[in-house]
């Protein structure tokens, strides 16, 4: 059976499409599993209400956090505040992990392209806040909030602060340093637009999925790759 060699853990949303899953090899000692940051915010029977969090704590002291970070969205009134609140909670969680001196892994859909080399066309993606969702104009937003959700300056800054507070390293970027944006068809982007050539997102990509590890764990990382390339996500 698929994944028969793994223990499977799920945190499901009460509604819509959110949720997370974590697979742990059965050869490893069973971890303690929780489904929240532990700060008492937005929980339902011990779970994040949208199923966005799984925390695995292993007997060795390793802590693994799997998250599906909420998207920043297109407007202050609907989404910006929610994302700011999430990032503040994540900053506190990462800071605690570092203070405790534990090996720490943070992975999942983190919904942010940290640097220009994490998108296929920085200028185009930054300009999208002028266009708005589905081409509908949006009210003026501060320059730091300008851009495709996941690529605004405020999201990038807060993500950097979380990495620093937690002493975390972006494994993909550590292994694959890239200053200019990679070719749009390369295997560098975990999110891609529609495969339909008439769509404005055709052949555009963002790297918004990560595996981040404590600095002392980075030397043990052998590989960090994105599977699939090009608008058809081949591979």
Model's pTM, two decimal places? Answer: 0.91
Report the alpha-carbon angle 122-90-128, nearest 5.
25
Q: Which of 8-17, 124-133, 160-169 has the highest mean pLDDT?
A: 160-169
Kindly name the residue from 109, 118, 145, 170 that is annotated as catalytic: 109
- 66: helix, strand or coil: strand
Q: In sequence order, which residues have a C-beta less than 8 Å from that of residue 153 and are 6 or more positions away?
A: 143, 144, 145, 146, 147
Proportion of the chain above pLDDT 70, given as a percent: 91
Cα–Cα nearest to 126, from 100, 152, 160: 152
Q: What is the pLDDT of residues 81-102, one digit of tens each?
A: 889 999 999 999 999 999 999 8
17 noted as active-site residue = no
Q: For residue 168, how many C-alpha atoms fall within 13 Å in the half-sphere facing its CB?
A: 28
At residue 163, does pLDDT exceed 90?
yes
Question: 13: which DSSP letter?
Answer: -
The model's confidence at residue 133, banded by pLDDT at 50, 70 and 90, is low
Closest CA to 221 of 188, 174, 159: 174
How high is the pLDDT of residue 96? 95
118 catalytic? Reply is no
Set 68, 151, 201, 210: catalytic member: 68
Question: 33: pLDDT confidence band, cut at 50, 70 and 90?
Answer: very high
Specify the 3-state DSSP secondary structure of 116. Answer: helix
């Amino acid at each position: 059976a698929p994944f028969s060699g793994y223990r499977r853990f799920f945190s499901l949303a009460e509604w819509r499409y959110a949720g997370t899953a974590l697979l742990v090899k059965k050869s490893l000692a069973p971890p303690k599993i929780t489904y929240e940051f532990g700060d008492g915010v937005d929980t339902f029977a011990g779970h994040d209400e949208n199923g966005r969090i799984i925390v695995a704590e292993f007997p060795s002291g390793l802590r693994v956090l799997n998250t599906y970070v909420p998207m920043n969205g297109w407007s202050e009134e609907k989404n910006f505040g929610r994302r700011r609140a999430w990032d503040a909670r994540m900053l506190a969680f990462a800071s605690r992990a570092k203070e405790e001196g534990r090996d720490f892994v943070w992975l999942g859909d983190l919904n942010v392209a940290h640097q220009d080399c994490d998108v296929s066309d920085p200028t185009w993606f930054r300009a999208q806040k002028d266009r708005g969702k589905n081409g509908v104009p949006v009210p003026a937003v501060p320059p730091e909030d300008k851009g495709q959700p996941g690529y605004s300056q405020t999201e990038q800054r807060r993500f950097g602060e979380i990495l620093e507070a937690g002493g975390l390293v972006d494994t993909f970027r550590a292994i694959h340093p890239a200053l200019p944006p990679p070719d749009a068809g390369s295997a560098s982007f975990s999110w891609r637009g529609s495969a339909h050539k008439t769509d404005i997102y055709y052949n555009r990509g963002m790297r918004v999925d990560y595996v981040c590890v404590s600095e002392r764990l980075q030397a043990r990382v052998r590989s960090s790759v994105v599977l699939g390339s090009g608008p058809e996500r081949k591979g």
